[in-house]
Chains A and B, each alone.
Chain A
Amino acid sequence: MIRGLGAFVLAALVAYALAAVAATQSVLSRLAEMGIEVGLAQRLAATGHDLIGMGSSYLPIIALGLAIAFAAAALLARWLRAWRTALYALAGFAAIVAAHLILNLSFGITPIAAARTLPGLLIQGLAGAIGGLVFVRTSSAFRKNQEFDS
């Protein structure tokens, strides 16, 4: 149980970090289109700022979305064992895309600026998919270690 939780926390952190980094680069690229060039040092500083800055808003949303989606994936994986990896990746993708759609429906706006465009939304979803893969890998590794220990 604790090991599963550890795998989930790692998956959520990886998904969040990738999503936040992608969000920052999206915003900075829109600035560049306006003629506001951002140097490497500023880009790194902005990325670090957002990783911390979005931690109290976006990270809980991603964690909640992944928790629900991974629970659904776990249920489905009982019958579709061969598809376990794909199911978790799909669940991670769907969790983040759904979170953005729900936020948009609730407030009428897009709170995470990077998700305003379809490519931006899909990239955010991709971060969730990678989170799903991380969960499968780490939970499998935990399971193997458990087997060796016993």
Chain B
Amino acid sequence: MSALGTYLPRLLLAALLGVTAAAAATEYRLDTVAEDLDFPWCVAFLPDGSLLATELGGRLLRIDPDGAAHRSITGVPAVYRASQGGLFDVLLHPDFADNSLLYLSYAEGTPGDNGTAIARARLAGERLHDVTVIFRVASRKDTPVHYGGRLAFLADGTLLATTGDGFDYRESAQDLGSQLGKLLRMNDDGSPAAGNPFPHAPYVWSYGHRNPQGLAIAADGRVWLHEHGPRGGDEVNLIEPGANYGWPAVTHGVDYSGALVSPFSEWPGMTPPQYGWTPSIAPSGLAIYSGALFPEWRGNLFVGALVAREVRRLDLENGQVVGEEALFTELKSRIRDLRTGPDGALYVVTDGPGGRVLKVVPAR
């Protein structure tokens, strides 16, 4: 089925619902929590109300609850900072209140030999202790792009991590012997998790991904992931263990040169996206809103858009995207990350040398 055939019914429904959404637009206010950050990538929320924020250059910051001050945390592993490479996600262990453990994903290595890595450390004040690299993508590359780098814990305590295809290694996404272009699942110490679908590829949970930079677990346990397409073909995928999401054998996008990546947009045995964008919006950051401040947004997907410079809210019904709304266009900023805060606000991270962390709260 063509891209039009795949998405047309949903887009028609989305258009209809969009009219409804516009008629009852949610009134919100954008409050700045932190500014003048250098390419911020991700935020996490500490139990004391302060924030952790990563910067691509390798800094991990602790930001006071009122945003008045931020301090660098020491002990962060050295990152490989080049092009898209650097420090990516920070994620608290589910038992952080008891064990103070956090996880960092980052690019490490050299121009000719680099890859995505995950470190675990214990946070004490403004210092990381017991820093341990628990996982390194075994398939190395010589390109400074497409690292993936998103982390999330499943309810069973296992850790999911996305990896990109490295751009020049796109066929590796279809190769179970490679860890590029995969969603990996591991224990909290970095060892392969029991129950993964491929005995000969013990970390791989799903494959056929290009550069997934959005990963979130819904309250119902569904795992949502989005990934950048090339020119067109951005995808929102509902993850099933063992499924093949097609890249680069099938795609709705074309290469940056204008050449086909594949003549096919679907193939037997490959799972099609739940939703997609052509032309590309360059999705980065994915939140499933779970706060109390905006009841009408609960359960919706919020997707940051780097190129489109806005946030896309996707309305879900039974695991299907049934509506789309563009939000926060007034920021006119590349959106890098989105999170639901413990205070019920939606947190938005803007990209760039003057990056900001903002929180979305009701207008009154």
Contacts and interface: CB of A to CB of B under 8 A. Distances in A.
Residue from the set B255, B260, B264 with the largest chain A CB neighbour count within 10 Å:
B260
A50 B260 contact: yes
A28 B13 CA distance: 36
B168 A34 contact: no
Given A46-B260, A50-B260, A116-B168, A108 B249 contact: no
A30 B167 CA distance: 15
B170 to A, nearest CB: 8
B249 A50 contact: no
Contact of B260 (A24, A36, A108, A109): A24
A57 B171 CA distance: 23
Interface in A77-111: 107-111
B259 A31 contact: no
Interface of A: 20, 23-24, 27-28, 30-31, 33-34, 36, 38, 42, 45-46, 49-50, 52-58, 107-113, 116
Interface of B: 82-83, 111, 143-145, 167-168, 170-171, 174, 248-249, 254-264, 267
A36 B262 contact: yes
A53 B254 contact: yes
A36 B264 contact: yes
Given A34-B174, A34-B249, A36-B264, A109 B259 contact: no
Contacts, number: 73
A15 B261 CA distance: 21
- B interface majority secondary structure: loop
Ranked 8 nearest A-B pairs via Cβ: A53-B258, A50-B259, A108-B144, A109-B167, A54-B258, A46-B263, A36-B249, A57-B257
Given A31-B249, A33-B171, A108-B145, A57 B267 contact: no
Contacts of B259: 20, 23-24, 27, 49-50, 53-54, 58, 112-113
Nearest to B259: A50
A55 B254 CA distance: 14
A106 to B, nearest CB: 11
Nearest to B169: A116
